[in-house]
Structure 1
Amino acid sequence: MDNAVAAKTRTATNHRTAAKSGAATKTRTAAASGTALLAGQEPTAGQDPPAGHSTTAEMAAHLSALLFDDSHHHSTHPNSHNTTHNSPSTCTRDGSSGDDSSSNGNSHGSDNGGSSSGSGDSSSGRGDGGDGGGHAHALWRQLVSRKEFTYTPGLDHTQRTAQSYQRLRLVNDLVDATALARDPARLAALHEWIGFADGGLCTLASIHYNLFLGSLIDHDNPDHPRDLTDYTTLRRTGTFLCTELDHGNDAAALETTAHHNPATGGFTLHTPTPGAAKFMPNTSTTGGPKTGLVAARLITHNQDHGVFLFLTPLSDENGLLPGITVTPLPPSNGPTIDHSLTTFHHVPLPREALLEADHGRLNPDGTLTTNLGNPRKRFLTSINRVTTGKLCMSAGCLGMARAALAIAVQYAHTRHTSGPRPGQRIPLAHHHTHHSRLLDKIATAYALTFLHRTTLTQYLNHTHENRTQTERHIAITKAFITWQARDITTESRERCGAQGLFPHNGIADLTHNIEGGITAEGDNLVIWTKAAAEMILHHTPQPTH
């Protein structure tokens, strides 16, 4: 992995053509402007450039053009519409951050539900552009530049959670929710932008569009299609209840049961032990009525068929439904949402609550028809949307890292300190000990971006034969990107000094939110250990001579 990233870093520094057309002429966002300054603009009169300025500027210009060019990304943090000389967050949000109409013809003000992958076919899951399409990025850039995404000080945990749900509705107003759920590239693009804008929103969007709505779509029966209108219009928000208090990384061993009732054809959902409480889904009444996909053991005729998903209404306009208990968890240092413990006491569900596909279909007599004899494989098939979730978590954390760098680089040019001559004031960026650390992280951010783009494209074009290998690569990539993003954000925050400690300046909360990405969709160390074991077990030794 280190060699692959190093190779991608070398590639980043060789894009001279992109650099010449990029940072110097297309730095309309404040974040891009900050990096352009680091990339070699002349110091103000009376200030000495740092040693090795031209070499450093050349390298940084190549990197800056690729990340902050209009045709790629603008990583402006949305919270920074107030400009102060000594604040790292000096970006504007008044619409002056860029003219989308000039972004290579790819920018549109609405999402028409078509392919977001260049020439790719969204309906087939194929695409040749792993960046989610230029217009998708422009759409989300416009969204997070709106006044509704301005940082609001003084909110408590519940109020901030409610704000994230309100912003989820702003996202939903712009998209065809079904098309978004079907398109991994567009989902990733969404997470790249809302991740740094609102960590709670990033988590809610990942759960609703990918884990919940995506799973419903993947298990759809063409002969009896579900009506998804309540979820695509957000009359009901979707959530996902899989892991339990006693079963996190060993979720295949979870205890929640769904007993089949031969008389009605339906099921009884039940939490048999305290350790089987669902931990830690967003199931409170904050944000309005909710429906969950609950992972539970399918029991028919006293036979355990393994874990399947069950569509379960949790609340309505009057509160929680009978038999459902939700206990709020204490606020965490990660994304601010309504994490809770959730239990079920003999909750009746209709026959259609069971999500079925080729890996498991229940016959009227209570027997199971399946193309997978292994219960664990059936479980992994049921929750397969976790794979796309890993791509989304990687994208969200990558966007946070880029935003942190943009803020830190710009602040390095607006914060001045004493120079080597009496009375001289120079930007912090002129100190090698300051800008070299940021340049190192910029190079890493580009390498991670190329890695994510490549991994996403591989997933869009995977085949049945290489699916397992592709999913393993996604897991490895998720862990590597989120760990590196944490390092980048920590360094960027430190380079902002005391100003970096204030959430209003757009950088203080990013590291905490990345911590959530490190744990979400599989703890990093666990999924790396699993991937390593698979690589060893499936390794074919080369013949020796």
Structure 2
Amino acid sequence: MEKIAMTTVDGLPILAHPDGTRPPIHSDPTVDALRTAILGTETSLHHRVRAVIAGLGDRPSTGMTYATEASLAPDLLRTAIAALGGSAVAIANDPRLRGIVCEWAAVYAPHLLPVLTGHLDLSIATITALGNGSAYQRELLAELDIGESVGVLLLTELGGTNGADQQTTATWDSPRNGFWLDSPDPASWKFMPNIADTTTPKIGVITARVIVDGRDEGVLPLLSRVRTQHGVEAGLSVLVLPDKGWTPMDHALIRFDKLFVPGDGLLGGTWAVIGADGFESTVPVPARFHRAIATLGQGRLDLAGAAAAGARAGLAVTVNYALQRRPGGRTLMADRGTVRRDLVSALAATYATSVLGRRVQDMAATAPTGDQVVGVWSMLVKPLLAYTAHEVLLTCRQRSGAQGTLRTNWIQDWIGSPAGSDMSQETRLS
């Protein structure tokens, strides 16, 4: 069992001895090989990012309200961006750095992780891939770059995430040179975007059915402010949703009623544009939505990596506890057959899925944006790693007994990361 503890990600603050010292890290070929297979070869980058994220001082909270916990994320995001070089765009455009940031946030920053992929992958990466470089887009991207505003994806509708069948409309107004966004019925209301916090400016990437001169041009993303320091934008109604059982976020239900988005807010790359002759696209209508959301694969991989990192951390804590705990003053937990069975099985599953996730991340780092093979792998890896991590962390919590239920021991918060990923894997049509 000693090697199990040694091969986990080293450096967790809660693995320190009560006197503040840390156990020595021994060099072992097997351990080194496993560490490389799981974390890759960017050791110095891992150390730098780990120091930054751990230095944020974020911890599972006790005694705070749900809304107060959710409000911690924006300041943590701004601080992390500044400490990692000052540019969220640079982080988002570096697949390895972005993935490593998400993994260490899963371990050390339970209030930061929930907004990371929405900001980096779903907002900044979408603008970078599909933007037109207009002054309007540059202005909003500059705010996202330093964390002045938080990026949010508004995709899921109350009626379900039905891909190209979404019902939110964006009707082109030629004289105004822009789009009017509307929610034609309750099923089209956007469900659970994190824009309820009244103190934080939010910029949204909104998917909607584009209507031009009465023609349905398919579902495409549009870029718009959704909340400023002065409140929500005109034409936007926000209903705060109830608290959920993990990872506090300012979730809301959103209804559009004539929200105006400038024409430069259309995110269609070079293949869906508003030209001199109106709307033009080189992609067939049914394929436009899937072409537009190809960048979401990056977010899937980062969430998968974060879930696996949380599982590794949970196992490190649980094994450390099992090596000390003697129920009734007798046999160590770590020496009991059923405990060994559960922890070794969890360890094998975590290592296998972690290595798979790393391999797919390596593929994605060198593949062109929107690569179909990487897209398929990301759709497979995200639920597999999230479900595995969730099961592993539930085992850790159960084997840790009452200690595992206390937030000060982190396991409960680590469970929140894969639970959030599980939530997004609801049955959906496309």
TM-score by length of 2: 0.88
- Cα distance in 1 for partners of 2:138, 2:260 equals 19
- Cα distance in 1 for partners of 2:74, 2:194 equals 11
- Cα distance in 1 for partners of 2:93, 2:224 equals 22
- Cα distance in 2 for partners of 1:132, 1:315 equals 41
Residues 56 and 79 in structure 2, CA contact (< 8 A), matched pair in contact too = no
2:126 pairs with 1:232: no
Q: Matches of residues 167-246 of structure 1 in structure 2 within 5 Å?
A: 167-175=76-84, 176-221=87-132, 226-227=138-139, 228-246=141-159
Q: Using a 3 Å threshold, how does the CA distance of structure 1 residues 97 and 336 change in structure 2: closer, same or farther?
A: farther
Q: What is aligned with 1:3?
A: none
Q: How big is the shift at 1:403? A: 1.1
More helix by share: 2
Q: What is aligned with 1:499?
A: 403
Q: How big is the shift at 1:96? A: 6.1
Q: How large is the RMSD of aligned CA atoms in angstroms?
A: 2.9
Q: How big is the shift at 1:242? A: 0.8
Residues 359 and 381 in structure 1, CA contact (< 8 A), matched pair in contact too = no
Q: What is aligned with 2:171?
A: 259
Which SS does the other structure have where 1:195 is aligned? helix
Q: Using a 3 Å threshold, how does the CA distance of structure 1 residues 203 and 150 change in structure 2: closer, same or farther?
A: closer
- Cα distance in 2 for partners of 1:146, 1:179 equals 21
Residues 5 and 320 in structure 2, CA contact (< 8 A), matched pair in contact too = no
Q: Using a 3 Å threshold, how does the CA distance of structure 1 residues 399 and 92 change in structure 2: closer, same or farther?
A: farther
Which among 299, 321, 327 is matched to residue 239 of structure 2?
Answer: 327
Q: How big is the shift at 1:286? A: 4.5
Q: Matches of residues 466-477 of structure 1 in structure 2 within 5 Å?
A: 467-477=371-381
Which SS does the other structure have where 1:298 is aligned? strand
- Cα distance in 2 for partners of 1:407, 1:194 equals 17
Q: How big is the shift at 1:94? A: 10
2:10 pairs with 1:74: yes
Which SS does the other structure have where 1:279 is aligned? strand
Q: What is aligned with 1:378?
A: 288
Q: What is aligned with 1:446?
A: 351
- Cα distance in 1 for partners of 2:413, 2:368 equals 39
Letter in 2 for 1:367: F
Q: How big is the shift at 1:201? A: 2.1
Q: How big is the shift at 1:349? A: 1.9
Which SS does the other structure have where 1:243 is aligned? coil
2:314 pairs with 1:404: yes
Q: How big is the shift at 1:143? A: 2.9
Residues 5 and 319 in structure 2, CA contact (< 8 A), matched pair in contact too = no
Q: How big is the shift at 1:354? A: 1.0
Residues 61 and 407 in structure 2, CA contact (< 8 A), matched pair in contact too = no
Q: Matches of residues 354-373 of structure 1 in structure 2 within 5 Å?
A: 354-370=266-282, 372-373=283-284
Q: Using a 3 Å threshold, how does the CA distance of structure 1 residues 234 and 144 change in structure 2: closer, same or farther?
A: closer
Which SS does the other structure have where 1:508 is aligned? helix
Q: Matches of residues 295-306 of structure 1 in structure 2 within 5 Å?
A: 295-306=207-218
Q: What is aligned with 1:519?
A: 423
Letter in 1 for 2:385: I
Q: Using a 3 Å threshold, how does the CA distance of structure 1 residues 130 and 427 change in structure 2: closer, same or farther?
A: closer
Q: What is aligned with 1:247?
A: 160
Q: How big is the shift at 1:313? A: 1.0
**Comparing 309-318 and 505-514, the one that deviates more:** 505-514
Residues 75 and 399 in structure 1, CA contact (< 8 A), matched pair in contact too = no
Q: What is aligned with 2:227?
A: 315
Letter in 2 for 1:194: A
Q: How big is the shift at 1:468? A: 2.1
Residues 359 and 378 in structure 1, CA contact (< 8 A), matched pair in contact too = no
2:74 pairs with 1:165: yes
Task: Give the unaligned 5+ runs of structure 2.
Answer: 28-35
- Cα distance in 1 for partners of 2:48, 2:197 equals 30
- Cα distance in 1 for partners of 2:324, 2:308 equals 25
- Cα distance in 2 for partners of 1:93, 1:221 equals 55
Which among 36, 57, 60 is matched to residue 148 of structure 1?
Answer: 57
Cα deviation per residue 1:239-276 (whole Å; 9 max; x = unaligned)?
Answer: 1101110132x132111111111112211111221211
Q: How big is the shift at 1:314? A: 1.3
TM-score by length of 1: 0.71
Which among 364, 386, 392 is matched to residue 459 of structure 1?
Answer: 364
Residues 56 and 109 in structure 2, CA contact (< 8 A), matched pair in contact too = no
- Cα distance in 2 for partners of 1:368, 1:285 equals 37
Letter in 1 for 2:317: I
Q: What is aligned with 1:22?
A: none
- Cα distance in 2 for partners of 1:430, 1:489 equals 20
Aligned-pair identity in percent equals: 25
Q: How big is the shift at 1:222? A: 5.4
- Cα distance in 2 for partners of 1:243, 1:92 equals 45
Q: How big is the shift at 1:463? A: 5.9
**Number of matched pairs:** 417
Which among 374, 383, 393 is matched to residue 479 of structure 1?
Answer: 383
Q: How big is the shift at 1:369? A: 2.7
More strand by share: 2
